[in-house]
Amino acid sequence: MKVDGRVLERSVGSGVELLGQLPSGRVKDVVALRVNGVLIDVAGALTEDDEVELVRADTSEGLDIIRHSCAHVLAQAVLRLYPGAHYAVGPTTQDGFFYDFLLPQEGRFEEGDLAAIEAEMRQIVNEDQPFIRDELSIVAARELFRDQPFKGEILAGIGELDAAQRVSVYRNTESFVDLCRGPHVPSTRYLKSFRLRRVSGAYWRGDEHRPQLQRIYGVAFATEKATQEYLAFLAESEKRDHRRVGQEMDWFHFPPEIGGGLAVFHPKGAYIRYRMEEFSRTKHLEAGYELVWTPHLAKSTLYETSGHLEWYRDGMYPAMEMDEGDLYYPKPMNCPGHILIYQSQPRSYRELPLRLFEFGTVYRYERSGTLHGLLRVRGLTQDDSHIFCTPEQLKDELGRLLRFVIAILRAFGLEDFDAELSTRPEKSVGNDAEWEFATDAARQALDASEIAYSVAEGEGAFYAPKIDIHLTDAIGRRWQLSTLQIDLQEPQRFGLEFQDTTNQKLRPYMIHRALFGSVERFFAILVEHYAGALPGWLLKEQVRILPVTQEAEAWAAEVARHCAANQLRATVGTAGEPLGGRIRRAKVEKVPYILVVGNDDLNARTVGVNRRGAAKEERGIDLLAFIEEASRTLQEPSLEVL
């Protein structure tokens, strides 16, 4: 037997015996074993030919086992406190776990109930209950869970596939047992640090026509220190939440009269959108893109040709029947319209690459449970580009795209990027040669770029490989931003052609590219990255001038005129309220510069400057010196496009 690559001379029959024969330092915090590549419980059987790896609590696999075990303890605690509760499923999440429940007599969990449930979980941990695995026939398992309808439905599904199959269960005590494949920690005392976080609704099996359950979320880590660090991270994330910041800053909201996932932008927020879009539009024109525009509706026949009705019907809004009897759909993507523009006339190799660009609004029917502020919406505006090129141009065009994407994102102050190349999945369409050519072009473009990248084998779209650009934000969260998607299918489905140097008709390659992803989502990411203190060049109000007294209002107005003459967007506040309150409000609204002007400033032609983020006001700053500083720090970023 080998243990972590070392030969163990002694014979052992189980993981428990194995750990008993190893030095205590080697077995500290071991929560499971990997035997011949398969995770098993510490109590599992071993043979002398096995290759064993010790799985410790602070590894990714160990944390997953801890979190899964916490989910079981959560279910046990709920059943202790709420006799007659039905428990459904309790998987792990990226940082924790959840469990879904249906309480008797239409009972409901409230957020205030979590403390009592968590206390009961800690009591179970203190009882040092072992996790004991057992295997049962489907018939025996159905009898065991006869009072638990959700478990019964899971077992019925397994039985339909193979009635002879045996299923595994885990017992903590005689009174609590759960259907589970495992593995689990040896006993509850291994669950050293967890917290219950919140309650939400969840439909059974994600089907809105099935029972609505309640989901309790928790987090768990190997140590209390790790949990505290994560809770601090969550607190910072919540402070930056774009939904809260957007409302505080009067940027946008989601009116119930319009419906979920559809935002309205207020003047200040709409101005930020305008600046984002105009900057991007200008740089696209400088980079050789052609502006186009396509309508929000199209006939069903277009989406039949493109394949959207075949592949994405569930994510599209229902069709509308017009007077002439045709069915029209709100567009789910911009690409079919751009293809029609390409197809509208014969194309020559001399026109390629042809780069079409549009800020196009599309509509996706996202289920209400998946909506999340501006990050997941039903109406979104994409900075969408579709590039048609010859096969020989594909590699260079992808490389050019990567440089352009990163340059635009850096203009918004974002710096920490990496990329991911997703290759051919098991289920795909297209011939091997096309896939190999496209994947190699993407790989060469990434190799020539300055971006670190990884390869996600088999994670590409079914019709072609793609490159995703990820951002790590100010507090370490990773966001997917831009996507560069090679398309081998749409040119074929629409019969796209170009005439080459020998007058042959050839099929172009097509690249889909959304740089922001969507304006809404990029807006949200910027808000959370900067905690609401967006770069000043994006803001409608860059300078707020506050006169100390009414006598100073004339000088405040003159300061505003000087700002405007130098393309600084300034407003003047009245002197009717206490100065301290006016300054605090401007700081909450994260105005880049707050200028305080008094009677002494009039004669000296000076201002008091409160810079965003600075601890103290700086008095007696010459007005022209301030304007020079602000013009430099608030100017739109320069960008050399390729």
Average model confidence (pLDDT) across the chain: 93
Q: Find where tokens 């609204």 sit.
A: 589
pLDDT tens digits along 527-581:
999 999 999 999 999 999 999 999 999 999 999 999 999 999 999 998 888 999 9
Of residues 76, 214, 382, 489, which has the active-site annotation?
A: 382
Model confidence at 291, pLDDT cuts 50, 70, 90, reads very high
Which has the closest alpha carbon to 31: 41, 19, 22, 16? 41
Of residues 205, 266, 364, 367, which has the active-site annotation?
A: 364
Q: How far is CA 5 from the centre of its chain?
A: 38
Contact 454, 442 (CB under 8 A): no
Our answer to whether residue 335 is catalytic in this structure is yes
pLDDT tens digits along 308-351:
998 888 889 999 988 778 899 999 999 999 999 999 999 999 99
Mean pLDDT of 257-286: 95
Contact 243, 523 (CB under 8 A): no
Say what percent of the chain tops pLDDT 90.
80
Which has the closest alpha carbon to 5: 60, 53, 56? 53
Model confidence at 25, pLDDT cuts 50, 70, 90, reads confident
Distance in angstroms (rounded) separating the CA atoms of residues 433 and 634:
50
Mean pLDDT of 195-209: 91
Distance in angstroms (rounded) separating the CA atoms of residues 129 and 578:
63
Domains and CATH numbers, the chain: 2-54 (3.10.20.30), 61-240 (3.30.980.10), 252-296+331-422+468-529 (3.30.930.10), 541-633 (3.40.50.800)
Q: Find where tokens 């194995």 sit.
A: 18
Binding-site entries for Zn(2+):
335, 386, 512
**Phi-psi category of 336—alpha, beta or left, where left has phi over 0 and alpha has psi -120 to 50?**
alpha
Distance in angstroms (rounded) separating the CA atoms of residues 151 and 87:
8
Q: How far is CA 60 from the centre of its chain?
A: 20
CA angle 214, 217, 221 (to 5 degrees): 160
Q: Which strands, in side-by-side order, build the sheet including 354-363? A: 290-291, 354-363, 379-389, 509-514, 478-487, 466-472, 417-422, 453-456
Binding-site entries:
335, 386, 512
Is residue 497 predicted with pLDDT exceeding 90? yes
Backbone angles phi, psi at 241, to 5 degrees: -50, 120
Residue 642 host element (H or E)? none
Of residues 443, 512, 513, 590, which has the active-site annotation?
A: 512
Tally DSSP H helices, then E strands, for the chain: 20, 32
* The two structure tokens encoding residue 462: 């079914």
Our answer to whether residue 386 is catalytic in this structure is yes
CA dihedral in degrees (519, 522, 528, 532; nearest 10)? -50
Of residues 64, 72, 151, 335, which has the active-site annotation?
A: 335
Mean pLDDT of 376-394: 95
Distance in angstroms (rounded) separating the CA atoms of residues 636 and 642:
19
Is residue 9 predicted with pLDDT exceeding 80? no
CB atoms within 10 A of CB 191: 22
Our answer to whether residue 447 is catalytic in this structure is no
Is residue 66 predicted with pLDDT exceeding 70? yes
Residue partners of 168: CB distance under 8 A and separation at least 6? 133, 134, 135, 136, 179, 180, 181, 182
Our answer to whether residue 372 is catalytic in this structure is no
Length of the chain: 642
- What is the DSSP code string of 583-604? HHHHHHTT-SEEEEE-HHHHHH
**DSSP 8-state secondary structure symbol assigned to residue 149:** H
Instruction: Write down the pTM of the prediction.
Output: 0.86
Kindly give the pairing relationship between strand 2-3 and strand 6-7.
antiparallel
Q: Strand pairing partners for 158?
A: none
**Sign, Cα dihedral of 262, 268, 269, 272:** positive
Our answer to whether residue 512 is catalytic in this structure is yes
Residue partners of 38: CB distance under 8 A and separation at least 6? none
Mean pLDDT of 431-453: 92
**DSSP 8-state secondary structure symbol assigned to residue 550:** G
pLDDT for position 642:
64
* The two structure tokens encoding residue 146: 């006869």
pLDDT for position 427:
86
Q: How far is CA 49 from the centre of its chain?
A: 44
Which has the closest alpha carbon to 215: 88, 81, 82? 88
pLDDT for position 154:
94
Distance in angstroms (rounded) separating the CA atoms of residues 265 and 262:
10
CB atoms within 10 A of CB 266: 15
Our answer to whether residue 331 is catalytic in this structure is no
Measured between alpha carbons, how far is residue 508 from residues 128, 401, 445, 556 in Å?
66, 17, 19, 60
Model confidence at 6, pLDDT cuts 50, 70, 90, reads confident
Contact 579, 548 (CB under 8 A): yes
* Amino acid in the structure at residue 113: D
CB atoms within 10 A of CB 416: 11
pLDDT tens digits along 584-623:
999 999 999 999 999 899 889 999 999 999 989 999 999 9
pLDDT for position 207:
84
Our answer to whether residue 180 is catalytic in this structure is no
Q: How far is CA 434 from the centre of its chain?
A: 31
**Phi-psi category of 92—alpha, beta or left, where left has phi over 0 and alpha has psi -120 to 50?**
beta
Contact 537, 634 (CB under 8 A): yes
Contact 482, 347 (CB under 8 A): no
Of residues 466, 521, 529, 590, which has the active-site annotation?
A: 466
Distance in angstroms (rounded) separating the CA atoms of residues 256 and 250:
17
Contact 400, 353 (CB under 8 A): no
Measured between alpha carbons, how far is residue 57 from residues 36, 61, 186 in Å?
20, 8, 12
- What is the DSSP code string of 53-91? EEEETTSHHHHHHHHHHHHHHHHHHHHHHSTT-EE----
Q: Among the residues of 369-510, which ranges form H helices? A: 394-411, 432-448, 490-493
* The two structure tokens encoding residue 63: 């944390």
pLDDT tens digits along 98-145:
999 999 988 899 999 999 999 999 999 999 999 999 999 999 999 999
Mean pLDDT of 280-285: 95
Which has the closest alpha carbon to 618: 630, 627, 609, 626? 609
Residue 351 host element (H or E)? none
